[in-house]
Amino acid sequence: MSSVTSSPAPGRVRRVLDWRLRFGGLALIWGFSFLFMKVGTESFAPFQVTLGRLAFGTAVLAVVMAVKRERLPRGARTWTHLAVAGFLLNALPFSLFAYSELTIPSSLAGICNATSPLWGMALSLVALSEDRPTRVRVAGLGVGFLGVLTVLGVWQGFHGLDVTGTALALLASLSYPVGWIYVRRTLAGSSHSHVSLTGAQLLLATVQLAVVTPLFTSVPAHFPVLPVLAVAALGALGTGLAFLIQYDLVAEVGPTTAQMVTYFTPVVSTAAGVTLLGESLSWSTPVGAVVILAGAALTQARPRTPRPAEPARPAAEPRRATVWPRGATQPFAVPQRSGHVRRNAAPAPAPAPSRPRPPEVLPRPRPGSTR
């Protein structure tokens, strides 16, 4: 159910359906995915169900890439990282869930899938230095694993519960956060589009299953209609379309709101398994599921960021005392900095009046002079 995504491009696009309807549709698709796996494994081997799922999911992404004229990413290093991501996020968890549903109900597999945030929080404290533990998140981790023990019914000694199938489902849910951390360390900030990266990731995961499946299974003798349709829906809806809806939600309402769909998936899977498949349900399963979801919600709580402190105002400069020269009768103004005017500075002394210049006396002309 997970894939490589990059940061959505800014800008608002007018959507036809409200995000709440798409949110509910995504919860239904992922919740029914466990029912589709259960129906598919009734006629096909788990590896065959996973191979068909990846093939149909890759086909959906290929159509989207063709419409958007997207190209596959380039670079051997990028393809190597995508191969590891495809194994951790698609090939391995899909196969483990398919094998687990051979012996456990689809409702229990959906509940085990809800433990992924718990595993992710525990691993991020070790692998990601920027994720600091808080009391609330650590408490959520403890509450979540208490819910797991409630689902397993440890006080009954796991009576009536297949331990191997449950362990496979829990390992599948653990594989998701391992893949997320790997992608965060290797492919974060990639220049390629999310459709291109996910298409390549699903393609590589399909190739991996295409190599492994013939080694452990044989070609099915029959192809019943209902299991084939279940595998096709599992791939086209649960892997291909679900990814597009998830990315659309992240781009519109943000990752915090979009990831809350994880808390509704086990509710849908349990209701579908009990109603449509007639699976039995003991009281400890729904009670433990509620405890798991509460713990998962606490592990996603983020500490409130404190408001930035206001910058301190510069201290006022001390007032300088007026300097009086010795013997002066007028106040002497202290020179100040440029642009600073002293309000109480004494006025400068007025200049002394200048004496009038006496009129020029011309000499008397001598007798006989022409002047």
pLDDT digits (tens, 9 = 90+) for 170-190: 999 999 999 999 998 898 888
**Which tokens belong to 351?**
């200049």
Whole-angstrom Cα distance, residue 148 to residue 115? 8
Identify whether the C-beta of residue 49 lies closer than 8 Å to the C-beta of residue 231. yes
Whole-angstrom Cα distance, residue 61 to residue 236? 9
pLDDT at res. 316: 56
pLDDT for 276-318, tens place per residue?
999 988 888 888 889 888 888 887 776 665 555 556 565 555 5
Span 246-252, mean pLDDT? 85
pLDDT at res. 66: 96
Torsion sign (Cα): 74, 56, 37, 143: positive
Higher pLDDT residue, 149 or 269? Answer: 269
pLDDT at 4 over 80: no
Token pair 């002309």 is at which residue?
365
| Mean predicted lDDT score pLDDT of the chain | 82
Whole-angstrom Cα distance, residue 258 to residue 24? 11
Q: Please state the separation of Cα 288 from the chain's center in Å.
A: 26
CA dihedral 252, 253, 257, 261 (to 10 degrees): -30
pLDDT at res. 129: 58
Span 62-78, mean pLDDT? 94
Contact partners, residue 263, CB within 8 Å, separation at least 6:
114, 293, 296, 297
pLDDT at 340 over 60: no
pLDDT at res. 9: 47
Torsion sign (Cα): 149, 45, 234, 272: negative
Higher pLDDT residue, 352 or 142? Answer: 142
Whole-angstrom Cα distance, residue 95 to residue 88? 11
> Which spans in the chain are helix H?
19-40, 46-68, 76-86, 92-100, 106-113, 116-127, 135-152, 163-186, 194-216, 225-235, 242-253, 255-258, 265-276, 284-299
Span 72-89, mean pLDDT? 95
3-state secondary structure 278-347: CCCCCCHHHHHHHHHHHHHHHHCCCCCCCCCCCCCCCCCCCCCCCCCCCCCCCCCCCCCCCCCCCCCCCC
Identify whether the C-beta of residue 354 lies closer than 8 Å to the C-beta of residue 345. no
Span 199-214, mean pLDDT? 97
pLDDT at res. 169: 96
pLDDT at res. 89: 95
**Which tokens belong to 357?**
């210049």
Phi, psi (degrees; rounded to nearest 5) at 159: -70, 130
pLDDT at res. 306: 58
Identify whether the C-beta of residue 202 lies closer than 8 Å to the C-beta of residue 90. yes
Written as one letter, the residue type at 10 is P
pLDDT at 273 over 80: yes
pTM: 0.76
Token pair 């533990």 is at which residue?
133
Span 87-112, mean pLDDT? 96
pLDDT at 7 over 50: no
pLDDT at 133 over 90: no
Whole-angstrom Cα distance, residue 247 to residue 114? 20
Exposed / middle / buried, residue 244 (Cβ in 10 Å: 0-12, 13-18, 19+): middle
Count CB neighbours of 253 within 10 A: 15
pLDDT at 370 over 50: no
pLDDT at 22 over 50: yes
pLDDT at 92 over 70: yes
* pLDDT confidence tier of residue 234, bands split at 50, 70 and 90: very high
Give how far Cα 62 sits from Cα of 46, 58, 72, 178, 229, Å: 24, 6, 10, 26, 20
* pLDDT confidence tier of residue 10, bands split at 50, 70 and 90: very low
pLDDT at res. 314: 59
